[in-house]
Amino acid sequence: MSDSMKEVVETLDPVSRHLIPPDIALGTLVPLKTILELRDNLCLGLAYVTRAPNKVTNDVVNIARALAGDDAAKNLPHLRRCVKPADIPPHLKTQFMNEGNGRQVHLGKSNWLYIVLGPENEMSYDELVKGLSTIDDIRDDIFVRTIPVPLLAPTSQVQANMWSQQFWQTVYRKNNPLGPHPSTISRTEAVMSRDASIWMNLAHQVAKKSQRAGYGEPIGAVIVKRTIPGKIDSGKQPAPKEGTGESEVSNGEGTGPEGDNCNSQARAAGEVKGTTRDATGGPNGVISDAKQSDVSSLEAPAQDSTKPDSEAQETTEIVAIAADARWHQMERTGLTGNPMAHAALRAISMVAQKLVRAEDRPKSTQKVMDFEAFQDKPLLSDEQLVFDGDHPCPDGYLCHELELYMTHEPCTMCAMAILHSRMGRIVFRHRMPLTGGMSSEDRGYDACAASGTCGGGSCGGGQGLGLHWRKELNWTLLGWEWESDSIEKLTVDPHLHA
């Protein structure tokens, strides 16, 4: 066990310390991609461009802004507003320099700039020409063209560079309109990676114990509560944070006319500050910044993250452990067993039972059903030990801000239950491309060929039903895969719903 791991173990409560395996196999966290990131996110539209001498670009920009309105998105904030003739993409250069007074504009000493005005469908061509004709220097040769441009902000510097070549100079602002903010992910990951392997090893251990006992498939789940000193506790919305770490990054080539009169107006009007926040909101602003700050509430205050805390220590406690128990009191035919006894559902239910226990309600002794469909009472001694402990903070909603570690990607049913429980973070090891409900993209077309359980791979792959960050669901859960070569694989049939 590494020194940093030992440090973490020393902070654990006696029950956790008793449960974890003596040797911890290490693994690494890999963030899950969101469904929007996996879709073709190159959403193109047409935008008007014009050209004008340096000294009147401000007037031009004002006309464009008046037509597009104040809606930042309509002003295409990820595109550089003004670009020198030498810095427009080569194919546009070839085209534009042969039109109108192009030769003169593209002369080495020219002080003309190309200006992107806004999306074609947001402004009327006639109004635009009318507006531009009020400017003396361009009145005689009004140049308005449409070019294809990406309508959404790029999600990486590489993508920004590519678009700068293909469409128009593009600015990457180090945020991600298609998922959680990259800095939220990296900070959360830095905290979790210290002990994620411990909880994953524990999930593996309980999975194997359940399989050996004949209760279920080798699938396990561990739910953990992390307490960070100085952090507002769960259930309470932390104050929204300003867009930390969001800074404009130039695409590294031809700096453009920064500092001249072209950009002063547009940028002073809040492009740098305002639009980064807007862009974070996704195409329809559904994933709002406020929700992102909710997600990022795991992060310790700045001073804690920079120095290893010596006084107040971060602590983690196990809230529930559960293995798959689909075969408990069930006849072993097919793959399904009892779907209510999936590991994630059992674990969440155990958390719920702890909350109910904390409320100290009078006990109901009435047995509702002959068959215990839910199988949410502990079956293994490890499950019982954790179950007997109190919930560390019984005030919050079900699994709000808790962390779930699973050996396998949960099925769509469990993924939805995890979402409803308001789990804060999920880590799983084995992908289930045919049946999984988390990883958005993987349909695993060849996953079943080897198993032979569906007539030689005739099922045609999974449904691609991953829920991770589907914006329709106001998704705020952060997700990782845990990759490890040093712990035994828990192989299950690829058609099985974990």
Strands 478-483 and 425-430: parallel
How far is residue 472 from each of residues 102, 176, 307, measured CA to CA in Å? 47, 17, 39
**Counting contacts by CB under 5 A, is residue 414 touching Zn ion?**
yes
Close Cβ partners of 169 (under 8 Å, ≥ 6 residues apart): 79, 80, 83, 87, 88, 251, 254, 256
CB of residue 339 vs Zn ion: minimum separation in angstroms?
7
CB of residue 457 vs Zn ion: minimum separation in angstroms?
23
Binding range to Zn ion, per CB under 5 A, among 158-166, 311-319, 324-332, 403-411: 403-411
CB of residue 497 vs Zn ion: minimum separation in angstroms?
5
Binding range to Zn ion, per CB under 5 A, among 239-247, 319-327, 406-414, 473-481: 406-414
CB of residue 342 vs Zn ion: minimum separation in angstroms?
3
CB of residue 435 vs Zn ion: minimum separation in angstroms?
8
CB of residue 487 vs Zn ion: minimum separation in angstroms?
22
Residue whose CB is less far from Zn ion, 60 or 427: 427
CB of residue 344 vs Zn ion: minimum separation in angstroms?
6
**Counting contacts by CB under 5 A, is residue 430 touching Zn ion?**
no
Site for Zn ion in 334-393 (CB under 5 A): 342
Binding range to Zn ion, per CB under 5 A, among 77-85, 101-109, 137-145, 413-421: 413-421
Residue whose CB is less far from Zn ion, 414 or 478: 414
DSSP one-letter string for 121-136: GGS-HHHHHHHHTTSH
CB of residue 406 vs Zn ion: minimum separation in angstroms?
9
Residue whose CB is less far from Zn ion, 187 or 342: 342
Distance of alpha carbon 323 from alpha carbon 123, whole angstroms: 59
How many other CB atoms are found less than 10 A from the CB of residue 305? 14
How many other CB atoms are found less than 10 A from the CB of residue 413? 16
Residue whose CB is less far from Zn ion, 342 or 429: 342
List of long-range contacts for 445-449, beta carbons under 8 Å, 24+ apart: 447/494, 448/494, 448/495
Distance of alpha carbon 44 from alpha carbon 149, whole angstroms: 5
Quote the tokens at residue 235. Answer: 């259930």
**Counting contacts by CB under 5 A, is residue 411 touching Zn ion?**
yes
Residue whose CB is less far from Zn ion, 203 or 279: 203
- Helices and strands (H and E) in the chain: how many: 18, 10
Distance of alpha carbon 61 from alpha carbon 171, whole angstroms: 18
Interface pattern 4-43 for Zn ion (x via CB under 5 A): ----------------------------------------
Closest CA to 107 of 116, 97, 92: 97
Rounded to 10 deg, the angle between the 57-68 and 125-132 helix axes is 150
Residue whose CB is less far from Zn ion, 27 or 216: 216
Binding range to Zn ion, per CB under 5 A, among 161-169, 203-211, 414-422, 466-474: 414-422
Q: Residues 61, 265: contact at Cβ < 8 Å?
A: yes
Residue whose CB is less far from Zn ion, 180 or 410: 410
CB of residue 375 vs Zn ion: minimum separation in angstroms?
13
Site for Zn ion in 212-241 (CB under 5 A): none
**Counting contacts by CB under 5 A, is residue 105 touching Zn ion?**
no
DSSP one-letter string for 141-160: T--EEEEEEESS--SSHHHH
Residue with tokens 């790029």: 154
Strand order in the sheet with 82-83: 82-83, 112-119, 44-53, 144-150
Residue whose CB is less far from Zn ion, 128 or 411: 411
Close Cβ partners of 419 (under 8 Å, ≥ 6 residues apart): 467, 473, 475, 477
**Counting contacts by CB under 5 A, is residue 434 touching Zn ion?**
no
Q: How many residues bind Zn ion (CB under 5 A)?
A: 4
How many other CB atoms are found less than 10 A from the CB of residue 157? 16
Residue whose CB is less far from Zn ion, 135 or 404: 404
Residue whose CB is less far from Zn ion, 142 or 413: 413
CB of residue 417 vs Zn ion: minimum separation in angstroms?
8
Residues making contact with Zn ion (CB under 5 A): 342, 410-411, 414
